[in-house]
């Protein structure tokens, strides 16, 4: 709770987070995990994944992230191919192993992890297993448990509206069956967990100007229609300007694929921009933030900066040493030929290619280099948090884990945009996950969770899983609340 209050609790004008909701999250979260484990969902605690603001009161350096065990999707039988493709494909690696593998050029631990994952891949081939990891593993295990419990799962059944009685209470939904409207009644309530609006450019233009649906890695179903439907029956909304930002460099033709990070050909971008020997500058050539830390804050900084100085896109600037050690070596020839990645043997030449005053870029790099050689970022404090260093090269023996001078030519530049892995605003709910009206009254029978709601984390991303964690916890809370009312005969 100390950490929640030092992060989410500091959000301003964020109706999705209240002391009661934050306490419900902390109190019910462990119970929800116990419930999942008791129902056969195999999970594990990550050995090391620092809180994103570990320097704040209550922050944890080891972290508190849990993930699903690797899952053999063949166990789903005919349902296997209904899983969304995983961003790591069928590579059987946990997130934290992936971070180690990213350091294979500079550490024996990274090489060992690469060998271990490689052996898993070989064994999978020999045994016919089809491993999925990360969100795919969690989804696969949840789907398997749901099928085993006899849940009636209906695909291709888009909900178009809610059914309400004369008092305004929600009593069901209108969906589709065989291409025709189909009404489904609900005795205990309706729970909406339909994603956000990352793929709805009209909603983005209204609530998140300057962002693009082409830059999202969110699932294709995040089109926002259920948020709009809840608004039609009086639901209040909040925090619609916020998204789970995920800085990206997207090669031509890779939009909306979630794997657009040019620097290391990996999904997402957070760890690449915090590696030694690189910085991010705006279009004037000035560095304006700590490139480490929360990916959500990174993109908030970019959009805020863009209101003062053009910063969308910004430019990632790095040198050959950094590319060789952390970003896959020389970039593909097609990226260089297309101009997506710029390369030059001098900083002056690179500045000319990206339209920046060479003197300004040279001064920015010199200032950064002076601090990097001392292991100190006096401007923005990169490396002051455990999380910054974890994103860098945490096996590095000499100097900073995240800072390194940009001095070994040739030099590189790549455009960086404020992408996302989901939006962070939606309908306002209470501590029981009930959807609220603008006046604070409850829309009876209507519950919501996940990124269809205004986040309990407010305007901040305190740690890994700050979207999926609340989605699960408040889904669990909603089910218990509705079942309790049902047992009382009140609904």
179 vs 269: which has the higher pLDDT: 179
Question: What per-residue confidence (pLDDT) applies to 487?
Answer: 73
Domain boundaries, the chain: 2-148, 244-420
Reported CATH class of domain 244-420: alpha beta
Spatial contact of 229 and 162, defined as CB atoms under 8 Å apart: yes
> Is beta strand 131-132 parallel, antiparallel or unpaired with respect to 71-72?
antiparallel
Determine the average pLDDT of the residues in 388-410: 92
| Mean pLDDT, the chain, integer | 92
pLDDT higher at 92 or 14: 14
pLDDT for position 259: 41
Indicate whether 267 pLDDT > 60: no
pLDDT in tens, 321-336: 999 999 888 999 999 9
Number of other CB atoms surrounding residue 105 within 10 Å: 14
| Best CA proximity match to 243, nearest among 5, 435, 459, 417 | 459
The pLDDT tens digits of the residues spanning 401-439 come to: 999 999 999 999 999 999 999 999 999 999 999 999 999
Q: How far apart are CA 339 and CA 329, in angstroms?
A: 17
- The yes-or-no verdict on residue 269 having pLDDT over 60 is no
Q: Which CA distances in Å does 88 have to 266, 362, 381, 454?
A: 8, 37, 32, 29
Question: Which of 102-111, 201-210, 217-226 shows the lowest per-residue confidence on average (mean pLDDT)?
Answer: 102-111
Of 358, 323, 361, which Cα lies nearest the Cα of 341? 323
Residue-wise pLDDT tens digits, 98-149? 888 888 888 888 899 899 999 999 999 999 999 999 999 999 999 999 999 9
Strands 411-423 and 426-427: unpaired
């Amino acid at each position: 709770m100390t950490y929640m209050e030092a992060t989410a609790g500091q959000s301003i004008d964020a109706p999705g987070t209240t002391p009661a909701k934050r306490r419900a999250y902390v109190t019910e979260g462990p119970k929800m995990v116990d419930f999942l484990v008791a129902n056969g969902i195999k999970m594990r605690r990550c050995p090391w994944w620092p809180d994103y603001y570990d320097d704040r009161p209550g922050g944890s350096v080891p972290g508190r992230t849990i993930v699903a065990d690797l899952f053999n999707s063949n166990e789903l039988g005919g349902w296997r191919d209904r899983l969304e493709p995983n961003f790591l494909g069928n590579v059987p690696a946990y997130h934290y192993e992936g971070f180690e593998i990213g350091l294979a050029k500079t550490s024996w631990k990274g090489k060992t992890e690469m060998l271990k994952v490689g052996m898993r891949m070989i064994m999978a081939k020999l045994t016919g297993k089809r491993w999925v990891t990360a969100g795919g593993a969690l989804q696969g295990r949840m789907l398997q448990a749901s099928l085993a419990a006899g849940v009636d799962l209906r695909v291709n059944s888009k909900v178009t509206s809610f059914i309400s009685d004369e008092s305004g209470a929600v009593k069901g939904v209108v969906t589709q069956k065989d291409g025709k409207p189909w009404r489904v009644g609900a005795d205990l309530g309706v729970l909406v967990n339909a994603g956000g609006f990352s793929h709805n450019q009209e909603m983005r233009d209204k609530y998140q100007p300057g962002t693009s649906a082409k830059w999202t890695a969110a699932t294709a179903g995040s089109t926002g229609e259920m948020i709009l439907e809840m608004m039609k029956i009086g639901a209040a909304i909040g925090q619609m300007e916020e998204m789970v930002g995920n800085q990206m460099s997207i090669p031509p033709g890779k939009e909306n694929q979630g794997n657009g990070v040019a620097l290391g050909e990996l999904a997402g971008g957070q760890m690449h921009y915090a590696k030694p020997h690189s910085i991010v500058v705006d279009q004037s050539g000035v560095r304006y933030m700590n490139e480490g830390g929360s990916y959500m804050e990174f993109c908030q900084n970019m959009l805020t900066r863009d209101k003062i100085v053009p910063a969308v896109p910004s430019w990632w600037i790095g040198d050959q040493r950094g590319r060789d050690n952390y970003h896959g070596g020389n970039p593909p020839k097609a990226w260089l030929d297309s101009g997506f990645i710029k390369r030059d043997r001098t900083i002056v030449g690179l500045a000319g290619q990206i339209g920046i005053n060479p003197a300004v870029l040279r001064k920015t790099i010199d200032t950064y280099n002076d601090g990097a050689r001392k292991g100190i970022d006096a401007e923005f404090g990169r490396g002051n948090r455990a999380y910054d260093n974890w994103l860098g090269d945490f096996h590095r023996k000499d100097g900073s884990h995240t800072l390194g001078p940009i001095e070994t030519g040739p030099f590189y530049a790549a455009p960086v945009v404020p992408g996302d892995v989901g939006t962070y605003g939606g309908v306002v709910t209470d501590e029981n996950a009930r959807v609220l009206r603008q006046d604070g009254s409850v829309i009876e029978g209507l519950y919501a969770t996940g990124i269809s709601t205004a986040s309990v984390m407010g305007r901040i991303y305190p740690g890994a899983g700050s979207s999926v964690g609340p989605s699960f916890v408040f889904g669990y809370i909603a089910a218990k609340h509705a079942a309790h009312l049902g047992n009382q005969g009140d609904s």
